């Protein structure tokens, strides 16, 4: 959306009050962590509002191009450019050229050693990483009712939860695999395909008569940046809350990897955190301006909480184990997000939330052993890589997941 067609910032009703009393303790905590006050200034609040009303011009132009071509032809052009390079196309459309000029440009700040380290960190945490991504990052993202509206309108997590979770896992695994973000690698391609899928959903919502711009632009720049935080500093914070230890170098590497993923996915560089401190400051500003929860928050939260049950088969043991998994995951969400958030998400109260802090001493002991013995660290990374190779294809088959990131064809609401 150009500045000429961008709605007035005053249309937004979704922006939370950063000066509300509930932010007092959070502001103090972030100030202590950062060593400076992260509270947004009036100028920064204006920028936040502006980015809530911004889409992704390059990707949106490619999706508009799709409509001028025979059905499926636009996607074929993108796939060919991703697989064989833009040069393989004869007279490629200007919209596609503009997109690939941006994604093919390698930022001067890109550091492959940091990318590799971040991939190793992502693998070594094993299944705990999936727990945090699902039950903190995704679950916490639902607390902002307006930001979660695209998911509700497309039915992507309330009607097809297992399939969509597997598809999200596919994206995460692609971009966190060593070498995965090279131009001809799966992570690079997945980031671009997810970017265009978001643009197609954005166009569908804007063309409908159901989207309220008071919620901001669908899948806007600010919410997209917040999603990058879910995979970086929120991810690491969730793991640290159950006893994992990360060095400063590792934390910076994870932020760096997701900075590049954000760049490939069309998030403006000016709002992409450049380091851990930037990311924590941005996280505070996301929390400070988060919109209110609503009934959709509850619907999405309950659907995600019940996801383990949908992976069960008819065996008694399978059903009991998935019930236990559901309880433990709900307990984790309540432990890290708090009971106020848990109530807003419609999560039942459970004593299982005390399980997670209780196992921290054991986890810390294991982490100290890992740090003292480098071969243990390498073994954990290798184990994580093997798990991805052997277990994930089974989940794709079980859920009939579409790992090519094709957008929904119609709105669910």
Q: How far is CA 165 from its chain centroid?
A: 11
**CA-to-CA distance for 64 and 332, rounded, in angstroms?**
42
150 part of a folded domain: yes
CA distance 233 to 160: 28
Q: What is the pLDDT of residue 3?
A: 41
Structure tokens at 94: 């200007």
Mean pLDDT score across all residues of the chain: 93
What is the number of residues in the chain? 413
- Tens digit of each residue's pLDDT (9 = 90 or more) over 51-75: 999 999 999 999 999 999 999 999 9
Is residue 5 domain-resident?
no
pLDDT of residue 4: 45
Percent of the chain with pLDDT over 70: 98
Eight-class DSSP state of 232: T
Q: E strand or H helix at 413, and its extent?
A: none
Element (H, E) at 351: none
Q: Is residue 28 part of a domain?
A: no
Structure tokens at 11: 């249309």
Burial status of residue 146 (CB atoms within 10 A of its CB: 0-12, 13-18, 19 or more): buried
CA distances from 234 to 22, 136, 173, 340 (A): 20, 8, 17, 18
192: nearest Cα among 121, 293, 297, 263:
263
Mean pLDDT of 27-36: 96
Give the rounded percent of residues in the chain with a pLDDT score beyond 90: 81
Residue of 184, 410, 145 lying closest to 300 (CA atoms): 145
In the Cβ-directed half-sphere of 34, how many Cα atoms lie within 13 Å?
Answer: 20
* 3-class DSSP assignment, residue 359: coil
**Domain annotation covers residue 6:** no
Output the pLDDT for position 159. Answer: 63
Residue 398: other Cβ atoms inside 10 A: 13
pLDDT score, position 399: 75
Name the region of 209 (left: φ>0; alpha: ψ -120 to 50; beta: rest): alpha
Separation of alpha carbons 92 and 65, rounded Å: 11
In the 8-state DSSP scheme, what is residue 341? H
Identify the pLDDT of residue 156. 66
The string of pLDDT tens digits covering residues 351-397 is 999 999 999 999 999 999 999 999 999 999 999 999 888 877 777 77
Burial of 308 (0-12, 13-18, 19+ CB in 10 A): buried
Q: What is the DSSP letter of 135?
A: I
Of the candidates 355, 133, 344, the residue with the CA atom closest to the CA atom of residue 238: 133
- The label of the residue with tokens 């400063």 reads 248
pLDDT digits (tens, 9 = 90+) for 120-169: 999 999 999 999 999 999 999 999 988 899 988 988 666 678 888 888 99
Contact 187, 174 (CB under 8 A): yes
In the three-class reduction of DSSP (H, G, I as helix; E, B as strand; rest coil), residue 344 is classed as helix
Residue 83, in any domain of the structure: no
What range defines the domain where residue 384 resides?
112-399
Q: Is 152 in a helix, a strand, or coil?
A: helix
Residue 225 belongs to a domain = yes
Q: What is the mean pLDDT of residues 17-21?
A: 95
Check if the beta carbon of residue 63 is closer than 8 Å to that of residue 196. yes
For 255-299, the pLDDT digits (tens) are: 999 999 999 999 999 999 999 999 999 999 999 999 889 999 999
What domain count does the chain have? 1
Least Cα distance to 106 among 175, 193, 173, 188 occurs for 188
Query: Does a structural domain hold residue 362?
Result: yes
Residue 32 has pLDDT above 90, yes or no: yes
CB atoms within 10 A of CB 167: 23
Q: How many CB atoms lie under 10 A from the CB of residue 27?
A: 17
**Coil, helix or strand at residue 306:** coil
Which residues have CB under 8 Å from 178's CB, separation 6+? 115, 116, 119, 120
**Rounded mean pLDDT, 18-42:** 96
Would you say residue 8 lies in a domain?
Answer: no
Print burial letters for 114-129: b (CB count within 10 Å at least 16), e (below 16). Answer: bbebbbbbbbbbeebb
- Residue 252 corresponds to which tokens in the numbers above? 């910076």
CA distance 20 to 36: 20
Q: Round to whole Å and give the CA distance between 47 and 212.
A: 20
């Amino acid at each position: 959306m150009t500045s000429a067609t961008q709605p007035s910032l005053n249309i937004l009703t979704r922006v939370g009050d950063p000066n509300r009393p509930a932010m007092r303790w959070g502001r103090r905590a972030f100030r202590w962590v950062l060593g400076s006050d992260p509270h947004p200034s009036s100028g920064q609040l204006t920028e936040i509002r502006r980015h809530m009303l911004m889409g992704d011009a390059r990707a949106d132009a490619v999706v508009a191009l799709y409509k001028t071509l025979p059905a499926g032809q636009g996607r074929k052009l993108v796939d060919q450019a991703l697989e064989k390079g833009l040069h393989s196309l004869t007279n490629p459309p200007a919209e596609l050229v503009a997109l690939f000029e941006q994604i093919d440009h390698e930022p001067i700040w890109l550091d492959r050693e940091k990318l590799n380290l971040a991939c190793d960190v992502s693998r070594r945490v094993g299944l705990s990483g999936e727990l945090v991504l699902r039950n903190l990052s995704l679950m916490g993202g639902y607390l902002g009712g307006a930001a979660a509206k695209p998911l509700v309108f497309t039915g992507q997590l309330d009607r097809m939860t297992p399939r969509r979770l597997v598809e999200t896992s596919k994206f995460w695994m692609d971009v966190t695999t060593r070498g995965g973000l090279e131009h001809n690698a799966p992570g690079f391609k997945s980031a671009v395909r997810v970017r265009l899928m978001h643009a197609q959903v954005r166009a569908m919502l804007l063309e409908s008569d159901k989207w309220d711009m008071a919620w901001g632009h669908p899948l806007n720049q600010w919410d997209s940046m917040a999603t990058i935080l879910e995979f970086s500093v929120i991810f690491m914070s969730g793991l640290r809350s159950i006893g994992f230890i990360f060095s400063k170098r590792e934390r910076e590497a994870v932020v760096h990897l997701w900075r590049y993923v954000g760049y490939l996915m069309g998030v403006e560089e000016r709002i992409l955190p450049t380091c851990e401190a930037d990311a924590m400051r941005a996280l505070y500003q996301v929390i400070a301006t988060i919109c209110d929860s609503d009934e959709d928050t509850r619907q999405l939260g309950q659907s995600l909480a019940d996801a383990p049950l949908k992976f069960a088969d008819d065996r008694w043991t399978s059903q009991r184990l998935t019930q236990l998994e559901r309880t433990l995951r709900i307990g984790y969400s309540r432990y890290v997000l708090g009971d106020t958030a848990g109530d807003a998400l419609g999560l039942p109260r459970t004593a299982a939330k005390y399980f997670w802090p209780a196992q921290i001493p054991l986890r810390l002991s294991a982490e100290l052993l890992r740090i003292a013995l480098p071969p243990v660290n390498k073994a954990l990374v290798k184990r994580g890589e093997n798990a991805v190779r052997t277990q994930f294809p089974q989940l794709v088959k079980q859920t009939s997941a579409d790992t090519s990131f094709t957008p929904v064809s119609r709105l669910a609401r």
